[in-house]
């Protein structure tokens, strides 16, 4: 369990909440870093495998508040691949949207094992 993130205000269903931000690295580099992170007991790797598994976002050293959002099997955020100023389908940006109305003070979560 990580730190967790709680919202200070009410969030409407289907609203954009935040982008998962980090360093864009190759999947090979992500494998290498992942082994180190596993030994440390924490990882912030997010595979960009929308079309092919070429790149990964690593939020360990560079990122935003999304780095602290925890996993839930009943999440209130859903992950979407979005394309802004870029048409390379291997490099989507990771957007988190509210799946339902979220109360002020509620913890924000998403499912790390998306399908």
CATH of the domain at 84: 2.170.270.10
Establish whether 73 is an annotated binding residue: yes
Q: Could you read off the pLDDT of 29-67 as tens digits, one per residue?
A: 999 999 999 998 888 899 998 778 899 999 999 999 998
Which run of H or E residues covers position 30? Answer: helix 27-40
pLDDT band, very low/low/confident/very high, at 107 (cuts 50, 70, 90): very high
Domain interval for residue 63: 5-110
Residue 115 lies in a domain: no
Residue 44 is among the residues annotated as catalytic for this protein: no
> Considering the domain boundaries, does residue 50 fall inside one?
yes
The tally of domains found in the chain comes to: 1
Beta strand spans in the chain (E): 5-6, 16-20, 23-26, 45-48, 55-58, 70-71, 77-82, 93-98, 107-110
112 is catalytic: yes
Q: How far apart are CA 21 and CA 11, in angstroms?
A: 20
Which residue among the candidates 20, 37, 50, 62 is catalytic per the annotation?
Answer: 20
- Residue 83 counted as domain residue: yes
DSSP string, 59-72: -SSS--GGGGPEE-
Tokens standing for residue 12: 């409407």
Enumerate the β-bridge partners of residue 18. Answer: 96
In a domain, 93, yes or no: yes
Note whether residue 36 is domain-resident: yes
């Amino acid at each position: 369990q990580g730190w967790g993130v709680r919202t200070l205000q009410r969030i409407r269903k289907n609203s954009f909440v935040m982008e998962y931000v980090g360093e864009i690295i190759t999947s090979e580099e992500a494998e290498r870093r992942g082994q180190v992170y596993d030994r440390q007991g924490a990882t912030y790797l997010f595979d960009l495998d929308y079309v092919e598994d070429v790149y990964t976002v690593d939020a360990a050293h560079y990122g935003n508040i999304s780095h602290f959002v925890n996993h839930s099997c009943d999440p209130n955020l859903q992950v979407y691949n979005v394309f802004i100023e870029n048409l390379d389908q291997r490099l989507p940006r990771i957007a988190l949207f509210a799946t339902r109305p979220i109360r002020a003070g509620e913890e924000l979560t998403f499912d790390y094992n998306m399908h």
